[in-house]
Amino acid sequence: MNNFIPYIQAKTKLSIVEKIGQLFMPAAFINDSEEEILAIEKLIKEHHVGSLCFFHSRASAATNFEGKKKIVYNEDSFATLKKLIQRYQSAAKYPLLISIDAEWGLAMRIENTPQYPYAITLGAIPNKTDLIYKVGQQIAQDCKAAGIHWNLAPVVDINNNPNNPVIGYRSFGEEKHNVTQKALAFIKGSAHEGVITCLKHFPGHGDTAVDSHLGLPLISKTKGDLVANELFPFQQLIHEGVPTIMAGHLSIPALADGDTIPSSLSKKMLKNLLREEMNFKGVVISDALNMHAVSKNYPVKGELEWLAFDAGNDVLCFAENIEEGIQTILKNASHSQVEESFERLWKLKEMAFKACDKPSKLSEASIVNKEIARASLTLFKGTTGSFNTQDIIGLEISQSKRPSIFIKTLADKQTFPLVSTFENSVEVMRQQTKNEKNILLALFPPKAKPANLFDIPKEQLDLINELFETKNVILYLFGNPYVLNHLQIDKAKAIVIAYQNFKEFQETAAQFVLKEVEASGKIPVSIT
């Protein structure tokens, strides 16, 4: 922003209504129609919203992310994003703070942009925080190249519930020190590039079996347990000076004197606990206010926005009733309430715009991804030297229409037969392995989320467990390690976890088969 100096000077000129408008962060969508774009421009011009949060499309955002609406892919999403940001900035009287969820890179929202490993993969790397720093730095470069100032990451939820439907692979793991260490490295890497980060989802979404997009999770732990574990990363990173924290939609009675109100709407959690007890001085942003954990309970337009602000949120993310929200806050809030939140937000904007004059271009992910693949590769069980590779058959189970890089790499260097679901039914694979003793099995789960058994067809899971029971099987897992909870792994000869299906991870796994690299990773979650 070349108009940074006059922007700072404009601070004293904002009216009280404009200051309240600055606290709103509506959603913007890369694949919007012209009519929808004009509607957002109108919001910016008429209500002086202070920030935008970008999503891919209305079909993929927030409460519909598990829905049935068709997601249309756009090969030119990145160019479209840049143009939209410039267009929306041009419509703003005061420059907008632009945010996005880029936990594993812009690829979380935007096609054909660099993609980095999930947090659970980074959590498997012992000690090498320099790689996580590099990931944070390169994701920040990509954000800057697009015109984004604020990455709503990292997730510092401690995932200690294997059935968590929404965090899981987005967490660095279940051990608080590992989560804190990895998050801090990511934050420092991003800060090097001047991009703001955000801890989420306070006070901790890890030990839930309910997705707050769809309902309100209840956590019944004691305050002592929560302080010792879930709150630990937040407290440690507050000491490190983190600039922003996202308030999750969670019901935690122990932190609210027995109240079951969502944490994002609780003064006891945001003002008493986070501000006073934990001494957080930065910006608090709500999780998306259209999420069903809160939105379905407040049908009166403007009421939810007021309650979220009154509870202690400085920025109201994905607010859908902006005009009514501004008026309700104007009617109910004290002058000091508005000024305090506005001052925190304005200071954050100053921090963001100071850094955005530095030029940036999209990063190159492959080199660091290759390093991460080697550092995270985990020999979870057994030894892979249990039998000679000349006496085995290779099986690939995936939903792909072509053989994997892992299988192709091995096929180029080995003589053992290879059988894949891309050209064979489960029954054919069963027959082809009938007289075989030793199996090298590559599993590529279709999804990282646990819903519907990670979308692995039951007949394929049954085949895998049958092979474990009757054969000597070495399993290579290219996906979420929680998949192992659905397999009879006690019968497996050996298990190797590669975590991702990226080219670099498949090639590294093949090199491990060929004894060209070692496996030094450590699984960051427990498998039961």
| Residue 32: active-site member | no
User: Which neighbouring-strand residues pair with 494?
Assistant: 474
Q: How many residues does the chain have?
A: 528
Q: Considering 56, 149, 213, 249, which one is annotated as catalytic?
A: 213
Helix ranges, 212-334 (H): 223-228, 232-239, 267, 292-295, 303-311, 322-332
Please confirm whether the linkage preceding 201 is cis (ω < 30° from 0): yes
User: Coil, helix or strand for 12?
Assistant: helix
| Residue 213: active-site member | yes
N- to C-terminal Cα separation, the chain: 51
User: Which neighbouring-strand residues pair with 27?
Assistant: 53
Which residue bears the tokens 């051990």? 175
Report which of 452, 355, 346, 407 is spatially closest to residue 148, judged by C-alpha positions. 355
**Which tokens belong to 248?**
């999750």
From residue 458, alpha-carbon distances to 139, 399, 462, 474 in Å are: 37, 13, 6, 20
Q: What are the phi and psi torsion angles at 74 (to 5°)?
A: -125, 110
d(CA 198, CA 189): 13
Q: Are strands 494-497 and 378-381 parallel, antiparallel or unpaired?
A: antiparallel
Report which of 478, 341, 470 is spatially closest to residue 398, judged by C-alpha positions. 478
**Which tokens belong to 187?**
């934050």
User: Which letter, b or e, does each residue of 324-342 get, where b requires 16 or more Cβ atoms within 10 Å of its Cβ?
Assistant: bbbbbbbeebeeeebeebb
User: Which neighbouring-strand residues pair with 475?
Assistant: 441, 495
Q: Considering 101, 287, 310, 314, which one is annotated as catalytic?
A: 287
DSSP string spanning 237-271?
HHHTT--EEEEP--B-GGGTTT--SBGGG-HIIII
User: Which neighbouring-strand residues pair with 418?
Assistant: 394
From residue 365, alpha-carbon distances to 113, 193, 284, 370 in Å are: 9, 16, 31, 9
Catalytic sites, residue numbers: 213, 287
